[in-house]
């Protein structure tokens, strides 16, 4: 709710969205332009490499927010 006015929210909890993100990460990221909140990022950690490329191309802070519901130790 904190960023609902400034960021688009997409959840990888939805199996259809998760499949699209896994099968074609570049098209997925083009569909959801930043500023973006990606929820449940733990389902597709390999997506982070593609996000890193996007960040390297545009170093504007606060464009990417990630959430998950699991504790990584």
The tens digit of pLDDT for each residue in 17-26 reads 999 999 999 9
Instruction: Give me the percent of the chain exceeding a pLDDT of 70.
Output: 93
The verdict on residue 16 lying in a domain is yes
Handedness of CA 34, 52, 58, 68 (dihedral sign): positive
User: Domain containing 61: what range?
Assistant: 8-67
**How many structural domains comprise the chain?**
1
The verdict on residue 28 lying in a domain is yes
The verdict on residue 13 lying in a domain is yes
The verdict on residue 62 lying in a domain is yes
Q: Are 21 and 49 a contacting pair, CB within 8 Å?
A: no
Comparing 1-5, 12-16, 38-42, the range with the smallest average pLDDT is 1-5
The verdict on residue 30 lying in a domain is yes
C-alpha atoms less than 13 angstroms from C-alpha of 41 in its C-beta half-sphere: 18
The verdict on residue 73 lying in a domain is no
The verdict on residue 1 lying in a domain is no
Residue 58, pLDDT score: 92
Residue 73, pLDDT score: 46
Averaged pLDDT score across all residues of the chain: 91
């Amino acid at each position: 709710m904190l960023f609902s006015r400034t960021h688009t929210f997409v959840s990888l909890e939805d199996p259809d969205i998760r499949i699209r993100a896994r099968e074609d990460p570049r098209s997925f990221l083009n569909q959801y332009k930043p500023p973006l909140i990606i929820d449940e990022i733990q389902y597709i950690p390999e997506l982070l490499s593609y996000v890193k490329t996007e960040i390297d191309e545009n170093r504007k802070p606060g464009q990417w927010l990630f959430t998950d519901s699991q504790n990584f130790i």
